[in-house]
């Protein structure tokens, strides 16, 4: 009978047992991988989706309409130009008043109108005196000068003025209003315009006194 070495037998057993353990581990490894992957994909379950059964939200408020841009401000007329234009219109109108004078009734109406024009010229004279001077207002003074020249010529060439002022009866009514228009209305108005132009004219600079001679 052959004797068996006990140490060799133990090595064989350990070798066989190790192979079995390795084989078992290799078989179990895929299962562990599968379990790890399943666990990795299984997080906290999402809460169930609840349907909103309440009333729908109100519609969004309409956007406010843009406000229209304010209209551009109108340029205010120059008060001096307005006064001068009205004064020139009165001068032009005065030369045509006499054409309507035919009898005592129309002469009375002409006297009333001439009186209103005289009063208005006095008011315009006071307004012009309160308006500060501005450059470029000379053109209005020149326009008034032209109107006055034409009116002066009309007294000699206008047949209606000559007819009325030369009539013994009608002339007595008109001549007083005519003189008042010239002396109380037209003359002060023209003087106020002329004084503005004179005060606005540049004053001459006095020549410098010669210095002491160095000779």
Q: Which pLDDT tens digit goes with each residue over 72-110? A: 777 777 888 899 899 999 999 998 999 999 999 999 999
Residue 9 covered by a domain? no
* Contact assessment for residue 142 and residue 77, using Cβ atoms and an 8 Å cutoff: no
- pLDDT (tens digit, 9 = 90+) per residue, 57-74? 777 877 787 787 777 777
Residue 57 covered by a domain? no
Handedness of CA 170, 114, 187, 193 (dihedral sign): negative
- pLDDT (tens digit, 9 = 90+) per residue, 21-70? 455 455 545 554 554 454 445 445 555 555 566 677 777 877 787 787 77
Residue 210 covered by a domain? no
> For residue 182, what are the domain limits?
79-200
Residue 30 covered by a domain? no
Residue 176 covered by a domain? yes
Residue 157 covered by a domain? yes
Residue 180 covered by a domain? yes
For residue 107, the tally of other CB atoms under 10 A from its CB is 22
Q: Minimal CA–CA distance to 140: which of 209, 193, 195? A: 193
Residue 52 covered by a domain? no
Q: Minimal CA–CA distance to 141: which of 85, 183, 94? A: 85
Total count of domains within the chain: 1
Distance CA 126, CA 123 (A): 5
The Cα-based distances of 13 to 1, 16, 22, 23 in angstroms read 22, 5, 14, 15
């Amino acid at each position: 009978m052959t004797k068996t070495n006990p140490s060799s037998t133990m090595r064989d057993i350990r070798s066989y047992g190790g192979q079995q353990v390795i084989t078992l581990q290799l078989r179990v490894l895929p299962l562990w991988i599968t379990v790890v992957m399943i666990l990795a994909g299984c997080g906290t379950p999402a809460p169930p989706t609840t349907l909103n059964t309440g009333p729908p939200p109100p519609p969004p408020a309409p956007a406010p309409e843009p406000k229209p841009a304010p209209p551009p401000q109108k340029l205010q007329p120059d008060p001096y130009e307005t006064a001068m234009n009205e004064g020139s219109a009165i001068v032009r109108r005065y030369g045509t008043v006499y054409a309507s004078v035919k009898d005592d009734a129309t002469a009375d109406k002409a006297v009333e109108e001439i009186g209103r024009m005289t009063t208005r010229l006095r008011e315009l004279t006071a307004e012009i005196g309160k308006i500060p001077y501005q450059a470029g207002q000379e053109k209005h003074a020149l326009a008034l000068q032209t109107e006055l020249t034409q009116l002066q010529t009309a007294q000699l060439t206008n047949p209606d003025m000559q007819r009325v002022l030369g009539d013994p009866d009608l002339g007595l009514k008109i001549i007083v209003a005519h003189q008042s228009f010239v002396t109380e209305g037209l003359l002060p108005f023209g003087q106020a315009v002329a004084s503005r132009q004179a005060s606005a004219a540049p004053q001459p600079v006095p020549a410098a006194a010669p210095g002491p001679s160095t000779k």
